[in-house]
């Protein structure tokens, strides 16, 4: 096959650009730190490069255009390799960003600990799963236990007209009445609590409350620097 004029020079320039990117990659992520997966992806990267270089060199485009195209291809491939190699670190960063934007989501510190940032209203809010249903709670240390709004109780499948609102309990706003119930499970991030006593509020409660009886079942509850950190 007849090669276009300047093919050798073009190929040399392209190989030089590719080598430069590979050298930068070696400084950025030394091979000694690579695992088998990163090495496999790097080999694939070289194979793809071996296919792309002759094709670009055989084109009649200007050297600057070819170098730019090659740089874009190499950048994309390096980004894919880096994204896979640092997928766990990127997930942790994503979770932290989400936690800052939505404080009630929390940040999992480890397998037994989760931390929540104080919301703009000065309160701590927690997104939890109650019997596999997501519910939004206000942390209320003045509440006796878990207090559900009527709307949340309906979502969990309770019939309000079948409940008996004859027990008194405390909240930060004082004592009120509610119907006692039992929740099979509350999950807050990595923390799981089984068989949790709760009440359904008789009044028009604005939000469901996570009270002191739940907090006492945890090994550690710490409020510091606008953060609530709880540990199983």
Per-residue pLDDT of the chain (232 residues; tens, 9 = 90+): 555 555 555 556 556 656 655 555 555 555 544 555 555 556 666 666 666 666 655 565 565 666 676 677 667 766 776 666 666 666 666 656 555 667 788 888 899 999 999 998 999 999 999 999 999 999 999 998 999 999 999 999 999 999 999 998 888 888 889 999 999 999 999 999 999 999 999 988 889 999 999 999 999 999 998 999 999 9
Based on the domain organization, do 216 and 114 belong to the same domain?
yes
Q: Is residue 90 part of a domain?
A: no
Residues 121 and 220 in one domain: yes
The answer on 112 and 60 residing in a single domain is: no
The reply to whether 42 falls in a domain is yes
- Considering the domain architecture, whether residues 125 and 202 belong to the same structural domain is answered as yes
- Inside any domain, residue 93: no
Which regions of the chain does DSSP assign to beta strands (E)? 107-110, 113-117, 125-130, 133-139, 146-148, 167-171, 174-188, 191-201, 208-210, 220-224, 227-231
Q: Residue 152 domain-assigned?
A: yes
Distance CA 102, CA 179 (A): 31
Angle between the 87-101 and 63-85 helix axes, to the nearest 10 degrees? Answer: 80
Q: Is residue 112 located within the same domain as residue 43?
A: no
Residues 75 and 112 in one domain: no
Burial 43-62 (b: 16+ CB within 10 A, else e): eebeeebeebbeebbeeeee
Question: What are the start-end ranges of the E strands in 20-157?
Answer: 107-110, 113-117, 125-130, 133-139, 146-148
Instruction: Note whether 211 and 141 are same-domain residues.
Output: yes
Please indicate, yes or no, whether residues 140 and 61 belong to a single structural domain of this protein. Answer: no
Residues 110 and 194 in one domain: yes
Is residue 96, in this structure, part of any structural domain at all? Answer: no
Q: In the chain, how many domains are there?
A: 2
Which CATH number do you get for residue 213? 2.40.70.10
Q: Is 224 among the domain residues?
A: yes
User: Under the phi-then-psi rule, with left for phi > 0, alpha for psi from -120 to 50, and beta for the rest, what region is 61?
Assistant: beta
Q: How far apart are CA 99 and CA 108, in angstroms?
A: 9
Considering 26, 50, 85, which residue would you say is the last residue of a domain?
85
Out of 85, 116, 148, a domain closes at 85
The pTM assigned to this predicted structure is 0.61
Going by C-alpha positions, the residue among 207, 215, 214 that lies closest to residue 153 is: 207
Domain boundary among 85, 115, 144: 85
Q: Domain containing 17: what range?
A: 7-85
For residues 74 and 184, state if they share a domain: no
**Does residue 94 lie in a domain region?**
no
- The answer to the question of residue 95 being in a domain is no
- Are residues 57 and 109 both part of a single domain? no
User: What pLDDT was estimated at residue 120?
Assistant: 87
Same-domain check for residues 111 and 211 = yes
Which pairing describes strands 227-231 and 113-117: parallel, antiparallel, or unpaired?
antiparallel
pLDDT at 63: 57
């Amino acid at each position: 096959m007849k090669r276009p004029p300047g093919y050798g020079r073009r190929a040399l320039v392209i190989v030089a650009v590719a080598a430069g990117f590979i050298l930068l990659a070696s400084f950025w992520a030394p091979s000694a730190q690579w695992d088998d997966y990163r090495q496999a992806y790097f080999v694939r990267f070289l194979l793809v490069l071996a296919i792309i270089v002759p094709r670009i060199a055989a084109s009649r485009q200007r050297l600057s255009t070819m170098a730019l195209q090659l740089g874009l291809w190499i950048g994309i491939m390096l980004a894919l390799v880096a994204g896979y190699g640092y997928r766990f670190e990127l997930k942790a960063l994503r979770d932290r960003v989400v936690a800052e934007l939505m404080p009630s989501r929390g940040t999992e510190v480890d397998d037994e600990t989760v931390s929540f940032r104080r919301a703009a209203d000065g309160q701590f809010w927690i997104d939890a799963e109650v019997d596999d249903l997501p519910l939004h709670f206000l942390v209320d240390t003045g509440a006796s236990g878990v207090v559900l709004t009527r709307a949340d109780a309906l979502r969990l499948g309770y019939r309000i007209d079948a409940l008996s609102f004859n027990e008194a309990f405390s909240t930060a706003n004082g004592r009120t009445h509610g119907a006692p119930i039992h929740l099979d499970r509350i999950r807050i991030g990595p923390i799981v609590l089984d068989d949790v006593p709760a009440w359904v509020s008789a009044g028009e409660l604005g939000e469901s409350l996570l009270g002191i009886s739940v907090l006492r079942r945890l090994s550690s509850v710490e409020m510091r620097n606008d953060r609530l950190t709880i540990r199983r």
